[in-house]
Amino acid sequence: MSDLHKPNRRAVLAGGAAIAAGSAAYAGAPDPLITETRDWAKSLGDGVDATPYGLPIRFEDDVIRRNVEWLTADTISSINFTPIHALDGTITPQGCAFERHHSGAIELAKQDYRLMINGMVDRPLIFTYADLERFPRENHVYFCECAANSGMEWAGAQLNGAQFTHGMIHNMEYTGVPLRSLLEEAGLQTAGKWIFVEGADASGNGRSIPMEKALDDVLVAFKANGEALRKEHGYPVRLIVPGWEGNMWVKWLRRIEVTDQPVESREETSKYTDTLADGRSRKWTWVMDAKSVITAPSPQSPIAHGPGPLVITGLAWSGRGAITRVDVSLDGGANWQTARLAQPGRKMAMSRFYLDIDWDGSDMLLQARAMDDTGYVQPTKTQLREVRGLNSIYHNNGIQTWWVRETGEAENVEVS
Ligand code: MTE
Ligand code: CO
Protein backbone atom coordinates (compact mmCIF):
# COMPACT_ATOMS: atom_id res chain seq x y z
CA MET A 1 0.00 0.00 0.00
CA SER A 2 1.31 3.43 -0.87
CA ASP A 3 1.94 6.02 1.80
CA LEU A 4 -0.86 8.09 0.34
CA HIS A 5 -3.40 5.45 1.19
CA LYS A 6 -2.42 4.91 4.80
CA PRO A 7 -3.88 8.03 6.39
CA ASN A 8 -7.10 7.61 4.40
CA ARG A 9 -7.51 4.03 5.53
CA ARG A 10 -6.92 4.94 9.17
CA ALA A 11 -9.48 7.71 8.88
CA VAL A 12 -12.08 5.36 7.42
CA LEU A 13 -11.47 2.77 10.15
CA ALA A 14 -11.71 5.36 12.87
CA GLY A 15 -14.97 6.65 11.39
CA GLY A 16 -16.29 3.11 11.12
CA ALA A 17 -15.55 2.37 14.74
CA ALA A 18 -17.39 5.47 15.87
CA ILE A 19 -20.49 4.56 13.86
CA ALA A 20 -20.31 0.93 15.07
CA ALA A 21 -20.97 2.20 18.58
CA GLY A 22 -24.45 3.14 17.48
CA SER A 23 -25.22 0.35 15.02
CA ALA A 24 -24.86 -3.43 14.64
CA ALA A 25 -21.35 -4.79 14.27
CA TYR A 26 -21.19 -7.59 11.70
CA ALA A 27 -19.35 -10.05 13.93
CA GLY A 28 -22.54 -11.87 15.01
CA ALA A 29 -25.07 -13.96 13.02
CA PRO A 30 -24.90 -13.57 9.22
CA ASP A 31 -27.31 -10.94 7.92
CA PRO A 32 -29.45 -12.52 5.13
CA LEU A 33 -29.81 -9.07 3.56
CA ILE A 34 -26.09 -9.30 2.88
CA THR A 35 -25.50 -13.04 2.47
CA GLU A 36 -28.58 -14.15 0.46
CA THR A 37 -29.76 -13.22 -3.02
CA ARG A 38 -33.03 -11.35 -2.55
CA ASP A 39 -36.10 -11.33 -4.80
CA TRP A 40 -35.21 -7.98 -6.33
CA ALA A 41 -32.01 -9.46 -7.71
CA LYS A 42 -33.66 -12.61 -9.08
CA SER A 43 -35.94 -10.89 -11.59
CA LEU A 44 -35.99 -7.74 -13.68
CA GLY A 45 -37.22 -4.36 -12.52
CA ASP A 46 -39.70 -1.99 -14.20
CA GLY A 47 -39.03 -0.68 -17.70
CA VAL A 48 -38.42 3.00 -18.29
CA ASP A 49 -42.01 3.71 -19.34
CA ALA A 50 -43.63 2.26 -16.20
CA THR A 51 -44.25 5.74 -14.77
CA PRO A 52 -43.97 8.52 -17.39
CA TYR A 53 -44.29 11.00 -14.53
CA GLY A 54 -42.60 9.55 -11.47
CA LEU A 55 -44.08 9.42 -8.00
CA PRO A 56 -42.31 8.59 -4.73
CA ILE A 57 -41.83 4.87 -4.08
CA ARG A 58 -44.69 3.34 -2.07
CA PHE A 59 -42.53 2.97 1.05
CA GLU A 60 -42.60 6.75 1.33
CA ASP A 61 -46.38 7.04 1.16
CA ASP A 62 -46.63 8.61 4.60
CA VAL A 63 -44.67 11.68 3.44
CA ILE A 64 -47.82 13.59 2.53
CA ARG A 65 -49.70 16.79 3.25
CA ARG A 66 -52.12 16.42 6.12
CA ASN A 67 -54.88 18.63 7.45
CA VAL A 68 -56.32 19.08 10.91
CA GLU A 69 -60.00 18.25 10.60
CA TRP A 70 -61.35 20.40 13.42
CA LEU A 71 -59.50 23.49 12.21
CA THR A 72 -61.86 24.42 9.38
CA ALA A 73 -65.51 23.66 8.64
CA ASP A 74 -64.72 22.05 5.27
CA THR A 75 -61.75 21.30 3.01
CA ILE A 76 -62.62 24.06 0.49
CA SER A 77 -61.75 27.10 2.58
CA SER A 78 -59.02 25.27 4.38
CA ILE A 79 -55.36 24.50 4.79
CA ASN A 80 -53.10 21.49 4.91
CA PHE A 81 -49.54 21.13 6.11
CA THR A 82 -46.16 20.31 4.56
CA PRO A 83 -44.58 17.14 6.05
CA ILE A 84 -41.46 19.06 7.10
CA HIS A 85 -40.68 16.40 9.73
CA ALA A 86 -39.90 13.93 6.91
CA LEU A 87 -38.06 16.17 4.43
CA ASP A 88 -34.41 17.19 4.33
CA GLY A 89 -32.48 19.82 2.44
CA THR A 90 -34.45 23.00 1.78
CA ILE A 91 -36.49 22.59 -1.41
CA THR A 92 -40.10 21.53 -0.88
CA PRO A 93 -41.37 19.17 -3.60
CA GLN A 94 -44.56 20.71 -5.03
CA GLY A 95 -46.52 17.53 -4.39
CA CYS A 96 -46.23 17.89 -0.63
CA ALA A 97 -46.10 21.70 -0.34
CA PHE A 98 -48.95 22.97 1.88
CA GLU A 99 -52.10 24.38 0.26
CA ARG A 100 -54.25 27.23 1.48
CA HIS A 101 -57.37 28.15 -0.45
CA HIS A 102 -60.24 30.46 0.45
CA SER A 103 -62.55 29.01 -2.21
CA GLY A 104 -60.85 25.86 -3.44
CA ALA A 105 -58.15 25.15 -6.04
CA ILE A 106 -59.39 26.02 -9.52
CA GLU A 107 -58.47 24.55 -12.89
CA LEU A 108 -57.42 27.33 -15.28
CA ALA A 109 -55.85 26.39 -18.63
CA LYS A 110 -52.97 28.39 -20.11
CA GLN A 111 -54.99 29.29 -23.19
CA ASP A 112 -57.74 30.77 -20.96
CA TYR A 113 -55.23 32.70 -18.90
CA ARG A 114 -55.25 36.51 -18.95
CA LEU A 115 -53.49 39.03 -16.73
CA MET A 116 -54.77 42.60 -16.77
CA ILE A 117 -52.84 45.63 -15.54
CA ASN A 118 -55.04 48.71 -15.14
CA GLY A 119 -55.50 51.77 -12.94
CA MET A 120 -52.80 54.44 -12.79
CA VAL A 121 -50.88 53.37 -15.88
CA ASP A 122 -50.48 55.05 -19.28
CA ARG A 123 -51.46 51.89 -21.22
CA PRO A 124 -53.78 49.38 -19.54
CA LEU A 125 -52.62 45.98 -20.80
CA ILE A 126 -53.85 42.42 -21.02
CA PHE A 127 -51.19 39.70 -21.15
CA THR A 128 -51.71 36.14 -22.32
CA TYR A 129 -49.56 33.34 -20.92
CA ALA A 130 -47.51 33.40 -24.13
CA ASP A 131 -46.96 37.16 -23.71
CA LEU A 132 -45.49 36.62 -20.25
CA GLU A 133 -43.06 34.06 -21.64
CA ARG A 134 -41.48 36.75 -23.84
CA PHE A 135 -40.23 38.89 -20.93
CA PRO A 136 -36.74 38.31 -19.48
CA ARG A 137 -36.97 35.71 -16.72
CA GLU A 138 -35.36 35.26 -13.30
CA ASN A 139 -34.93 32.30 -10.95
CA HIS A 140 -35.14 32.67 -7.17
CA VAL A 141 -35.61 30.37 -4.18
CA TYR A 142 -38.06 31.80 -1.65
CA PHE A 143 -40.08 30.50 1.30
CA CYS A 144 -43.84 31.11 1.47
CA GLU A 145 -45.25 31.04 5.00
CA CYS A 146 -48.92 31.48 5.82
CA ALA A 147 -49.36 34.20 8.45
CA ALA A 148 -51.32 31.62 10.47
CA ASN A 149 -48.39 29.18 10.71
CA SER A 150 -48.03 28.17 14.40
CA GLY A 151 -51.23 30.14 15.06
CA MET A 152 -52.78 27.28 17.03
CA GLU A 153 -49.90 27.47 19.51
CA TRP A 154 -50.52 30.97 20.90
CA ALA A 155 -52.26 29.83 24.07
CA GLY A 156 -49.98 26.86 24.69
CA ALA A 157 -48.52 23.71 23.13
CA GLN A 158 -51.32 22.09 21.18
CA LEU A 159 -50.49 20.10 18.04
CA ASN A 160 -48.12 17.18 18.28
CA GLY A 161 -45.84 17.40 15.27
CA ALA A 162 -43.64 19.84 13.35
CA GLN A 163 -45.88 19.27 10.32
CA PHE A 164 -48.84 20.75 12.23
CA THR A 165 -47.07 23.40 14.31
CA HIS A 166 -44.79 24.71 11.51
CA GLY A 167 -45.93 23.10 8.25
CA MET A 168 -47.79 26.07 6.70
CA ILE A 169 -44.61 26.80 4.81
CA HIS A 170 -42.87 25.77 1.63
CA ASN A 171 -39.65 26.77 -0.08
CA MET A 172 -39.32 26.50 -3.84
CA GLU A 173 -37.28 27.73 -6.75
CA TYR A 174 -39.48 30.01 -8.85
CA THR A 175 -39.08 31.04 -12.45
CA GLY A 176 -40.89 34.15 -13.54
CA VAL A 177 -40.88 37.75 -14.71
CA PRO A 178 -40.16 40.61 -12.30
CA LEU A 179 -43.44 42.49 -11.74
CA ARG A 180 -41.41 45.67 -12.32
CA SER A 181 -40.98 44.74 -16.00
CA LEU A 182 -44.75 44.38 -16.52
CA LEU A 183 -45.54 47.62 -14.67
CA GLU A 184 -42.96 49.47 -16.77
CA GLU A 185 -44.46 47.98 -19.93
CA ALA A 186 -47.84 49.41 -18.89
CA GLY A 187 -46.32 52.83 -18.20
CA LEU A 188 -46.57 53.12 -14.45
CA GLN A 189 -47.61 56.65 -13.39
CA THR A 190 -45.66 58.35 -10.60
CA ALA A 191 -48.86 58.91 -8.58
CA GLY A 192 -49.30 55.11 -8.34
CA LYS A 193 -48.27 54.18 -4.81
CA TRP A 194 -49.97 50.81 -4.35
CA ILE A 195 -51.06 47.82 -6.37
CA PHE A 196 -54.22 45.84 -5.73
CA VAL A 197 -53.74 42.23 -6.86
CA GLU A 198 -56.42 39.60 -7.26
CA GLY A 199 -56.79 35.98 -8.36
CA ALA A 200 -59.22 34.31 -10.77
CA ASP A 201 -60.78 32.07 -8.09
CA ALA A 202 -64.14 32.85 -6.48
CA SER A 203 -62.50 34.38 -3.40
CA GLY A 204 -60.27 36.62 -5.53
CA ASN A 205 -58.03 36.94 -2.49
CA GLY A 206 -57.59 40.68 -3.23
CA ARG A 207 -54.59 42.26 -1.52
CA SER A 208 -52.89 45.66 -1.59
CA ILE A 209 -49.12 45.82 -1.82
CA PRO A 210 -47.09 49.04 -1.50
CA MET A 211 -45.39 50.09 -4.74
CA GLU A 212 -41.94 50.04 -3.13
CA LYS A 213 -42.24 46.28 -2.62
CA ALA A 214 -43.92 45.74 -6.00
CA LEU A 215 -40.97 47.34 -7.79
CA ASP A 216 -38.37 45.67 -5.60
CA ASP A 217 -38.49 41.87 -5.76
CA VAL A 218 -42.06 40.75 -6.51
CA LEU A 219 -42.14 38.07 -9.20
CA VAL A 220 -44.91 36.94 -11.56
CA ALA A 221 -44.05 33.22 -11.55
CA PHE A 222 -45.09 30.33 -13.76
CA LYS A 223 -42.64 27.58 -12.76
CA ALA A 224 -41.76 26.09 -9.39
CA ASN A 225 -38.81 23.72 -8.90
CA GLY A 226 -38.35 23.69 -12.67
CA GLU A 227 -41.84 22.55 -13.69
CA ALA A 228 -45.20 24.21 -14.15
CA LEU A 229 -46.89 25.36 -10.98
CA ARG A 230 -49.28 22.76 -9.65
CA LYS A 231 -52.97 23.60 -9.83
CA GLU A 232 -53.13 24.00 -6.07
CA HIS A 233 -50.29 26.53 -6.09
CA GLY A 234 -51.92 28.79 -8.69
CA TYR A 235 -51.38 27.26 -12.15
CA PRO A 236 -50.59 28.79 -14.53
CA VAL A 237 -49.37 32.01 -12.86
CA ARG A 238 -49.01 33.24 -9.29
CA LEU A 239 -47.50 36.20 -7.50
CA ILE A 240 -44.35 35.74 -5.39
CA VAL A 241 -43.91 38.33 -2.62
CA PRO A 242 -40.56 37.38 -1.03
CA GLY A 243 -40.43 37.38 2.77
CA TRP A 244 -44.02 38.60 3.11
CA GLU A 245 -46.96 36.65 4.52
CA GLY A 246 -48.40 33.95 2.26
CA ASN A 247 -51.83 35.58 1.81
CA MET A 248 -50.26 38.22 -0.47
CA TRP A 249 -48.88 35.54 -2.82
CA VAL A 250 -51.97 35.67 -5.03
CA LYS A 251 -52.59 32.43 -6.96
CA TRP A 252 -54.24 32.25 -10.41
CA LEU A 253 -53.20 35.92 -10.72
CA ARG A 254 -55.67 37.77 -12.99
CA ARG A 255 -55.53 41.49 -12.29
CA ILE A 256 -53.15 44.13 -10.99
CA GLU A 257 -54.62 47.58 -10.43
CA VAL A 258 -52.29 50.49 -9.75
CA THR A 259 -53.83 52.78 -7.12
CA ASP A 260 -52.80 55.80 -5.06
CA GLN A 261 -53.94 54.18 -1.82
CA PRO A 262 -54.58 50.67 -0.50
CA VAL A 263 -57.86 49.05 -1.48
CA GLU A 264 -59.43 47.78 1.72
CA SER A 265 -60.94 44.50 0.66
CA ARG A 266 -63.29 42.78 3.08
CA GLU A 267 -60.72 40.06 3.59
CA GLU A 268 -57.96 42.47 4.42
CA THR A 269 -59.83 44.45 7.05
CA SER A 270 -61.43 41.51 8.84
CA LYS A 271 -58.50 39.12 8.81
CA TYR A 272 -54.73 39.13 8.96
CA THR A 273 -54.60 41.62 11.79
CA ASP A 274 -53.14 40.71 15.16
CA THR A 275 -55.33 41.40 18.19
CA LEU A 276 -53.21 42.68 21.09
CA ALA A 277 -53.84 42.15 24.82
CA ASP A 278 -55.55 45.57 25.15
CA GLY A 279 -57.90 44.85 22.22
CA ARG A 280 -56.11 47.08 19.72
CA SER A 281 -55.06 45.55 16.40
CA ARG A 282 -51.73 45.40 14.66
CA LYS A 283 -52.18 45.54 10.93
CA TRP A 284 -49.99 45.61 7.84
CA THR A 285 -47.58 43.20 9.48
CA TRP A 286 -46.51 41.85 6.15
CA VAL A 287 -42.96 40.69 6.81
CA MET A 288 -42.47 37.23 8.31
CA ASP A 289 -39.97 37.49 11.16
CA ALA A 290 -37.09 35.06 11.65
CA LYS A 291 -38.18 31.64 12.84
CA SER A 292 -36.87 28.09 13.10
CA VAL A 293 -38.00 24.61 14.05
CA ILE A 294 -36.25 21.33 14.71
CA THR A 295 -37.76 18.88 12.23
CA ALA A 296 -36.02 15.77 13.61
CA PRO A 297 -36.13 14.50 16.22
CA SER A 298 -39.71 15.71 16.65
CA PRO A 299 -43.04 14.08 17.60
CA GLN A 300 -43.59 12.55 14.13
CA SER A 301 -39.87 11.81 13.71
CA PRO A 302 -38.75 10.11 16.93
CA ILE A 303 -35.18 8.89 17.46
CA ALA A 304 -35.11 5.37 16.03
CA HIS A 305 -31.90 4.25 17.76
CA GLY A 306 -30.19 4.19 21.12
CA PRO A 307 -27.50 6.47 22.58
CA GLY A 308 -24.55 7.51 20.41
CA PRO A 309 -24.31 9.58 17.24
CA LEU A 310 -27.48 11.60 16.67
CA VAL A 311 -28.21 14.08 13.90
CA ILE A 312 -30.41 16.93 15.07
CA THR A 313 -31.77 18.92 12.13
CA GLY A 314 -34.21 21.64 11.28
CA LEU A 315 -35.19 24.64 9.19
CA ALA A 316 -34.74 28.38 9.69
CA TRP A 317 -35.96 31.34 7.65
CA SER A 318 -36.44 35.10 7.81
CA GLY A 319 -38.57 37.45 5.74
CA ARG A 320 -36.13 40.27 6.48
CA GLY A 321 -33.07 38.67 4.92
CA ALA A 322 -30.73 35.72 5.16
CA ILE A 323 -30.28 33.36 8.10
CA THR A 324 -26.81 33.90 9.55
CA ARG A 325 -26.86 31.59 12.56
CA VAL A 326 -28.99 29.00 14.32
CA ASP A 327 -28.38 27.91 17.90
CA VAL A 328 -29.69 24.68 19.36
CA SER A 329 -30.38 23.96 23.03
CA LEU A 330 -30.71 20.46 24.48
CA ASP A 331 -31.92 21.73 27.86
CA GLY A 332 -34.82 24.08 27.23
CA GLY A 333 -32.78 27.20 26.56
CA ALA A 334 -30.31 27.10 29.49
CA ASN A 335 -27.32 26.34 27.23
CA TRP A 336 -26.93 26.93 23.50
CA GLN A 337 -24.63 25.51 20.82
CA THR A 338 -24.26 26.97 17.35
CA ALA A 339 -25.56 24.59 14.69
CA ARG A 340 -23.97 24.00 11.29
CA LEU A 341 -25.73 25.65 8.33
CA ALA A 342 -25.76 23.28 5.35
CA GLN A 343 -25.23 26.26 3.04
CA PRO A 344 -24.73 29.99 3.58
CA GLY A 345 -28.17 31.57 4.20
CA ARG A 346 -29.99 33.07 1.21
CA LYS A 347 -32.34 36.03 1.42
CA MET A 348 -35.96 35.10 2.16
CA ALA A 349 -35.19 31.43 1.61
CA MET A 350 -35.04 28.51 3.99
CA SER A 351 -31.81 27.37 5.58
CA ARG A 352 -31.14 23.81 6.72
CA PHE A 353 -29.17 23.36 9.94
CA TYR A 354 -27.57 20.34 11.61
CA LEU A 355 -26.19 19.68 15.06
CA ASP A 356 -24.38 16.35 15.21
CA ILE A 357 -24.20 15.17 18.82
CA ASP A 358 -23.22 12.14 20.83
CA TRP A 359 -26.53 11.51 22.60
CA ASP A 360 -26.13 10.08 26.10
CA GLY A 361 -29.66 8.66 26.03
CA SER A 362 -31.11 11.04 28.59
CA ASP A 363 -34.17 13.18 27.90
CA MET A 364 -33.79 16.54 26.19
CA LEU A 365 -35.75 19.77 25.82
CA LEU A 366 -34.81 20.58 22.23
CA GLN A 367 -35.02 24.13 20.96
CA ALA A 368 -33.68 26.09 17.98
CA ARG A 369 -33.16 29.86 17.80
CA ALA A 370 -32.68 31.64 14.46
CA MET A 371 -30.78 34.86 13.73
CA ASP A 372 -30.82 36.86 10.50
CA ASP A 373 -28.53 39.35 8.81
CA THR A 374 -30.42 42.31 10.31
CA GLY A 375 -29.30 41.13 13.78
CA TYR A 376 -32.81 39.96 14.70
CA VAL A 377 -32.93 37.04 17.16
CA GLN A 378 -35.97 34.73 17.28
CA PRO A 379 -37.85 35.39 20.57
CA THR A 380 -39.03 32.87 23.14
CA LYS A 381 -42.79 32.32 23.35
CA THR A 382 -42.78 34.15 26.69
CA GLN A 383 -41.06 37.19 25.18
CA LEU A 384 -43.51 37.19 22.28
CA ARG A 385 -46.57 36.99 24.57
CA GLU A 386 -45.27 39.88 26.70
CA VAL A 387 -45.54 42.12 23.65
CA ARG A 388 -48.41 40.53 21.76
CA GLY A 389 -50.66 38.98 24.43
CA LEU A 390 -52.62 35.78 23.86
CA ASN A 391 -55.36 36.87 21.44
CA SER A 392 -53.38 36.63 18.24
CA ILE A 393 -53.53 33.98 15.57
CA TYR A 394 -51.00 35.31 13.12
CA HIS A 395 -47.24 35.82 13.21
CA ASN A 396 -46.27 33.41 15.97
CA ASN A 397 -42.50 33.02 15.56
CA GLY A 398 -41.70 31.96 19.14
CA ILE A 399 -39.09 29.31 19.93
CA GLN A 400 -40.54 25.77 19.76
CA THR A 401 -39.68 23.10 22.35
CA TRP A 402 -39.73 19.33 21.82
CA TRP A 403 -39.39 17.14 24.90
CA VAL A 404 -37.42 14.09 23.71
CA ARG A 405 -37.67 11.17 26.06
CA GLU A 406 -35.13 8.35 26.78
CA THR A 407 -37.21 6.17 24.44
CA GLY A 408 -36.55 8.62 21.60
CA GLU A 409 -40.20 9.72 21.44
CA ALA A 410 -40.86 13.45 21.34
CA GLU A 411 -43.70 15.69 22.47
CA ASN A 412 -44.73 19.31 21.92
CA VAL A 413 -44.22 21.13 25.25
CA GLU A 414 -43.51 24.61 26.57
CA VAL A 415 -40.85 25.61 29.05
CA SER A 416 -41.37 28.67 31.22
N1 MTE B 1 -54.61 33.29 -3.82
C2 MTE B 1 -55.88 33.06 -4.23
N3 MTE B 1 -56.24 33.48 -5.44
N4 MTE B 1 -56.77 32.44 -3.42
C5 MTE B 1 -56.41 32.02 -2.14
O6 MTE B 1 -57.25 31.46 -1.44
N7 MTE B 1 -54.64 31.94 -0.42
C8 MTE B 1 -53.52 32.72 0.09
C9 MTE B 1 -52.40 32.81 -0.96
N10 MTE B 1 -52.91 33.14 -2.24
C11 MTE B 1 -55.08 32.28 -1.68
C12 MTE B 1 -54.19 32.90 -2.60
C13 MTE B 1 -52.92 32.23 1.33
S14 MTE B 1 -53.69 32.66 2.79
C15 MTE B 1 -51.71 31.60 1.38
S16 MTE B 1 -50.97 31.20 2.83
C17 MTE B 1 -51.00 31.21 0.12
O18 MTE B 1 -51.74 31.56 -1.04
C19 MTE B 1 -50.78 29.72 0.13
O20 MTE B 1 -50.16 29.30 -1.06
P21 MTE B 1 -50.12 27.74 -1.41
O22 MTE B 1 -51.52 27.21 -1.43
O23 MTE B 1 -49.40 27.65 -2.69
O24 MTE B 1 -49.34 27.08 -0.30
CO1 CO C 1 -52.24 32.11 4.42
Reduced to 3 states (helix: H, G, I; strand: E, B; else coil), residue 162 is helix
**Mutation to probe ligand 1, out of 146, 230, 241 (largest number of atoms < 8 A from CB):** 146
Integer angstrom CA distances of residue 86 from 93, 192, 319? 12, 45, 24
Considering the domain architecture, whether residues 234 and 170 belong to the same structural domain is answered as: yes
What is the 3-state secondary structure of 257-314?
A: EEECCCCCCHHHHHCCCEECCCCCEECCCCECCCEEEEEECECCECCCCCCEEEEEEE
Considering the domain architecture, whether residues 237 and 102 belong to the same structural domain is answered as: yes
- On whether residue 83 sits in a domain, the answer given is yes
Q: Which domain holds residue 256?
A: 75-282
- On whether residue 376 sits in a domain, the answer given is yes
pLDDT, one tens digit per residue, over 221-252 is 999 999 999 999 999 999 999 999 999 999 99
**Mutation to probe ligand 1, out of 205, 241, 245 (largest number of atoms < 8 A from CB):** 205
* Binding pocket residue ranges, ligand 1, CB within 6 Å: 97-102, 144, 146, 170, 199, 201, 203, 205, 232-233, 246-247, 249-252
- On whether residue 63 sits in a domain, the answer given is no
Considering the domain architecture, whether residues 18 and 94 belong to the same structural domain is answered as: no
Protein residue with its CA nearest to atom 8 in ligand 1? 247
Considering the domain architecture, whether residues 116 and 262 belong to the same structural domain is answered as: yes
- On whether residue 272 sits in a domain, the answer given is yes
Reduced to 3 states (helix: H, G, I; strand: E, B; else coil), residue 347 is coil
Atom of ligand 1 nearest to the CA of 234: 23
- Spatial separation of the C-alpha atoms in residues 242 and 250, rounded to whole Å: 12
pLDDT, one tens digit per residue, over 379-411 is 999 999 999 988 888 999 999 999 999 999 999
**Centroid of ligand 1 to alpha carbon of 1 (angstroms):** 62
Considering the domain architecture, whether residues 324 and 185 belong to the same structural domain is answered as: no
Least confident of 88-97, 152-161, 239-248, 328-337: 152-161
- On whether residue 57 sits in a domain, the answer given is no
Considering the domain architecture, whether residues 304 and 326 belong to the same structural domain is answered as: yes
Final residue belonging to a domain, choices 282, 301, 336: 282
What CATH number did the domain enclosing 370 receive?
2.60.40.650
Number of domains in the chain: 3
Considering the domain architecture, whether residues 299 and 276 belong to the same structural domain is answered as: no
Integer angstrom CA distances of residue 407 from 80, 311, 368? 29, 16, 21
For residues 338-357, give the mean pLDDT.
Answer: 98
For residues 250-259, give the mean pLDDT.
Answer: 98
Considering the domain architecture, whether residues 94 and 238 belong to the same structural domain is answered as: yes
Considering the domain architecture, whether residues 322 and 274 belong to the same structural domain is answered as: no
Q: Is the pTM of this model over 0.85?
A: yes
- Spatial separation of the C-alpha atoms in residues 69 and 252, rounded to whole Å: 26
- Spatial separation of the C-alpha atoms in residues 201 and 109, rounded to whole Å: 13
Considering the domain architecture, whether residues 22 and 129 belong to the same structural domain is answered as: no
Considering the domain architecture, whether residues 260 and 175 belong to the same structural domain is answered as: yes
